Amino acid sequence: MTHSGYAGKILRVDLTEGRLWTEPTKKYSNDWIGGRGINDWILFNELRPETGPLDPENMLLFGVGSLVGTLSPFCCRVSVDTKNVFNGGVGSANCGGHFGAEMKYAGYDNLVITGRSPEPVYLWLNDGEAELRDAEKLWGTTTWDTERSIRQMHGDNEVRVIGIGQAGENLVKSACIMSDRAKAAGGSGVGAVMGSKNLKAVAARGSQPISVAHPERFIDAVDEVRAKIETFPKAKLYREDGYYGVESYYGSPAWEAGFRPVRNGQDDYWDPEKIKRVAGDTIKPYRKKILACYGCPVGCMPWMKIPDGPYEVEGEGWWNNSSNSFCTRVDVDNPEAAIKAHLRTNQLGLDGDNASVVIAWAFEAYEKGLLTVKDTDGLELTWGNHDAMLTLIDKLAYREGFGDFLADGVKAAAEKLGGGSEDYALHIRGQDAVDGIRISKGWGFGVVTSQAHGRHLRGAVHSFSPDKFLSWDDVPYNVHMQEQFKAILDSTGTCLYNNGLLSWETRIEPSSSRYIVELNVALTGMDYGVDGYMKIGRRIHNLEKAFNTLHCGFTRKDDYPPKRYWEEPVKSGPYKGEHLDHETWDRMLEQYYELHGWDPETGLQTREGLEELGLGSVADKLRAAGLVS
Amino acid sequence: MILLDPSKCQGCRICEAACGFHHSGHKEFNPALSSTHISRDNDTAHITMNVDSSCDLCVGEKTPLCVKYCAYGAREVKR
């Protein structure tokens, strides 16, 4: 029986035994939609708290959203979920590109991978069939070479590949999983989990059909969204200049919003002369083309090319965060070195967001004299030394020399070094935290309370209006709404950024999800209405919260920012003096917990709240561990 | 015929989805039924586009769906 909107099957893989089997997606989709929702439910129910992130028993799940592979605009996303290598809690990453649609056409909505293969392998998904194949020759190669080799082996340039580079193989905690060479499922060390399983890549090719429950209604919904998108001038600009070109031109408010901490967060304001050298409009000469993910009418990712010189490179990728990770954070204003750094991390399968935190911390420890060239393999880690940054990226991915010292993340490195370096080790619940959080309050509060630990892809909300950056008005409400909304986006496979054209400029309300809900209802026939979908969003969010409670014992005490952001104000620029204060933060936390129906004192979930969401079995598990109010 | 301009194509492949949808009688998204194919060289970003002989210029539709849904102006219909 067809399952409208879905490939219809979930693939289970036991790498230790080399065993593969399937189960119907229908078993989960009515309650959890798809993508992250299904992944989270399986993880919560099947992964034991005592399992370590790099143990064979840990599970690695890939979930394609329900709307992926259809005419739904900007629906291409894959959710990768596992146990987080930094802290053992929720591990969750998400990427776009073309792999998700191909995985669905190959016949699978989700992959649930456990065990550890005795030898390196890749998983080949081919038109309804799946098998493990030898990856010995791929091991040790970059994500780019891996993709090229797999396509050559299959004699098919349309095979889509998601996989790890050297960083994941070497169990570096900031390792990510790369799709189509350029789209990173980053954070949580998902690449290290994949490496620990001896799984180099997943490759997909297929032409299995995806049926539509209500075709005419679906086309109407697609046409409505497409027409709406064209009313936003930014849609046209993204296609022409890419996301970075549009949002990070010289003079853009984004440069003053504190999203890009300067010199490891010593400041949130960067010298305008330096901004000028790497801003969206000034790096335009390196941008050869703008490319789109599957089914996206608002392509936004640039193809960058440095034709010659020491930083010669060519490839897809450069994003807003890149100018944080490889520019402001280490005070680098050389655009060619920064672009090279971004593309090099793509090759090595290193998450720029996570990796740049520990690199910038090392630069600061060097500035303060705690590290010298004797410790750093001769590298002079002076701010702005782009060549040292580039060398360190490779050392980190290969765990070579000083790179190995950094490879377990900033918390572990600071604990080893000591000397007060812990005070400027920017992590949240143990995971390296890239975001600037002192200025834009909705962004900062969402980042810190995120169930994915210091990452902005949960509840973080922001305004592009500078007069609202500092406002705490409605922050708990907006963050708790965004969390539910984002869970729907991740389960339907919708891009947060381009969907943002439909919702980000306004306050997030349940009605913000109406376009996506209508598409999903028409495609799948699952007609729960906007409120029903938002409830599923709350269920998914609460599932992650419960996972963190059960696996890590996280409570209210873990919902606070790193020390630096309390004690050190922004040092220069229009927001000079801005910092976070305990009294306001505590008040916001209590409001936020109450909105979620959690105990305002402890931050723990309540049995009543969970039962109202139909999560009585989750409450039972928490009660058995004494972790529910 | 469908006129193609690879210099404008950004490689989203929504034309493939639209084409398969048409050929299935609006029942499903089926890559095997698509008359058009977009390919991208990931070493150079070079994009190639083609339309094969199974294209019926979307008989029964107001506009060929691949043209309707291309957001990049890379396709045009010439009757």
Task: Output the CA angle A488-A71-A304, nearest 5 degrees.
Answer: 85
Q: Answer with the one of A401, A432, A463 that is the final residue of a domain.
A: A432
Rounded CA separation B35/B23 (Å): 9
Together in a domain, A257 and A113: no
Non-local CB neighbours of A155 within 8 Å, separated by 6+ positions: none
Confirm whether A402 is domain-assigned. Answer: yes
Which positions in chain B touch A289 (Cβ < 8 Å)?
Answer: 10, 45
Lookup: tokens for A515 = 């376009």
Rounded CA separation A604/A585 (Å): 17
Instruction: Provide the number of CB pairs (under 8 Å) joining chain A to chain B.
Output: 87
Which positions in chain A touch B66 (Cβ < 8 Å)?
Answer: none
Specify the pairing of strand B47-51 against strand A431-432.
unpaired
Q: How many domains does chain A have?
A: 3
Specify the pairing of strand A121-126 against strand A129-134.
antiparallel
Q: Between helices A475-492 and A514-524, what is the axis angle to 10°?
A: 30
Which among A105, A180, A293 has the least Cβ separation from residue B12? Answer: A293
Together in a domain, A269 and A194: no
DSSP symbols for A519-552: HHHHHH----HHHHHHHHHHHHHHHHHHHHHHHH
Higher pLDDT: B67 or A474? It is B67
Which residues of A lie closer than 8 Å to B, measured between beta carbons?
A: 69-71, 98, 101, 105, 144, 147-148, 157-158, 180-181, 206-207, 209-212, 215-216, 219, 226, 239, 288-299, 303, 314, 316
Tally of CA atoms within 13 A in the half-sphere of B53 that contains its CB: 0
pLDDT in tens, A332-378: 999 999 999 999 999 999 999 999 999 999 999 999 999 999 999 99
Q: What is the pLDDT of residue B15?
A: 98
Rounded CA separation A498/A491 (Å): 16
| Mean pLDDT of the region A279-291 | 94
Together in a domain, A331 and A265: yes
Q: What is the pLDDT of residue A334?
A: 98
The chain A residue lying nearest B70, using CA atoms, is A297
With an 8 Å Cβ cutoff, are B10 and A239 in contact?
yes
State the DSSP code for A504.
Answer: T
Distance from CA of B26 to the nearest CA of A (A): 6
ipTM value:
0.98
Q: What is the pLDDT of residue A461?
A: 87
Together in a domain, A474 and A408: no
| Mean pLDDT of the region A586-600 | 97
Interface test with B, best of A294, A305, A501 (most B CBs within 10 A): A294
Q: Is the CB of B28 inside 8 Å of chain A's CB atoms? A: yes
Which positions in chain B touch A209 (Cβ < 8 Å)?
Answer: 20, 24, 28-30, 32
pLDDT in tens, A511-548: 888 999 999 999 999 999 999 999 999 999 999 999 99
Q: Is A266 helix (H, G, I), strand (E, B) or coil?
A: coil
Q: Answer with the one of A398, A432, A466 that is the final residue of a domain.
A: A432
| Mean pLDDT of the region A149-169 | 98
Together in a domain, A424 and A460: no
- Residue A468: pLDDT band with limits 50, 70, 90: confident
Together in a domain, A583 and A457: yes
Lookup: tokens for A68 = 């992926």
Higher pLDDT: A82 or A235? It is A82
Q: What is the pLDDT of residue A561?
A: 96
Q: What is the pLDDT of residue A464?
A: 64
Residue A555 near residue A604, CB atoms below 8 Å: yes
Distance from CA of B15 to the nearest CA of A (A): 8
Q: Is the CB of B27 inside 8 Å of chain A's CB atoms? A: yes
CA distances to A108, A529, A595 from A112, rounded to whole Å, are: 11, 29, 33
Tally of CA atoms within 13 A in the half-sphere of B21 that contains its CB: 28
Confirm whether A308 is domain-assigned. Answer: yes
Together in a domain, A395 and A468: no
Name residue, tokens 């099947």.
A46
Whether the per-residue pLDDT at A181 is higher than 90: the answer is yes
pLDDT in tens, A430-449: 999 999 999 999 999 999 99
Together in a domain, A277 and A161: no
Name residue, tokens 């950004």.
B10
Strand pairing partners for A33? none
With an 8 Å Cβ cutoff, are B72 and A299 in contact?
yes
The share of chain A scoring above pLDDT 70, in percent, equals 98
Together in a domain, A456 and A342: no
Non-local CB neighbours of A369 within 8 Å, separated by 6+ positions: none
CATH code at position A122: 3.60.9.10
With an 8 Å Cβ cutoff, are B28 and A211 in contact?
yes
Non-local CB neighbours of A586 within 8 Å, separated by 6+ positions: none
Which positions in chain A touch B5 (Cβ < 8 Å)?
Answer: none
Together in a domain, A468 and A364: no
For residue A373, what are the domain limits? 244-432
With an 8 Å Cβ cutoff, are A303 and B11 in contact?
no
Whether the per-residue pLDDT at A504 is higher than 60: the answer is no
Q: What is the pLDDT of residue A301?
A: 94
- Residue A505: pLDDT band with limits 50, 70, 90: low
Together in a domain, A448 and A561: yes
Residue A378 near residue A144, CB atoms below 8 Å: no
Task: Output the CA angle A345-A194-A491, nearest 5 degrees.
Answer: 90
| Mean pLDDT of the region A67-77 | 97
Which positions in chain B touch A70 (Cβ < 8 Å)?
Answer: 17, 29
**What domains does chain B contain, in order, with CATH numbers?**
2-77 (3.30.70)
Lookup: tokens for A554 = 């996280």
Which positions in chain B touch A181 (Cβ < 8 Å)?
Answer: 42
Specify the pairing of strand A210-211 against strand A431-432.
unpaired
Lookup: tokens for A34 = 């798809």
Which among B20, B27, B72 has the least Cβ separation from residue A239? Answer: B72
DSSP symbols for A158-195: T-EEEE--HHHHTT-TTB-EEETTTEEE-STTHHHHHH
Distance from CA of B1 to the nearest CA of A (A): 22
Q: Is the CB of B6 inside 8 Å of chain A's CB atoms? A: no
Interface test with B, best of A75, A125, A296 (most B CBs within 10 A): A296
Non-local CB neighbours of A423 within 8 Å, separated by 6+ positions: A563, A564
Together in a domain, A599 and A499: yes
Confirm whether A213 is domain-assigned. Answer: no
The share of chain A scoring above pLDDT 90, in percent, equals 90
| Mean pLDDT of the region A548-563 | 97
CATH code at position A310: 1.10.569.10
Confirm whether A414 is domain-assigned. Answer: yes
Interface test with B, best of A4, A72, A303 (most B CBs within 10 A): A303
Q: Answer with the one of A395, A410, A432 that is the final residue of a domain.
A: A432
User: Taking all residues of chain A, what is their mean pLDDT, rounded to a whole number?
Assistant: 95
Which positions in chain B touch A298 (Cβ < 8 Å)?
Answer: 71
Distance from CA of A318 to the nearest CA of B (A): 15
Q: Is A476 helix (H, G, I), strand (E, B) or coil?
A: helix
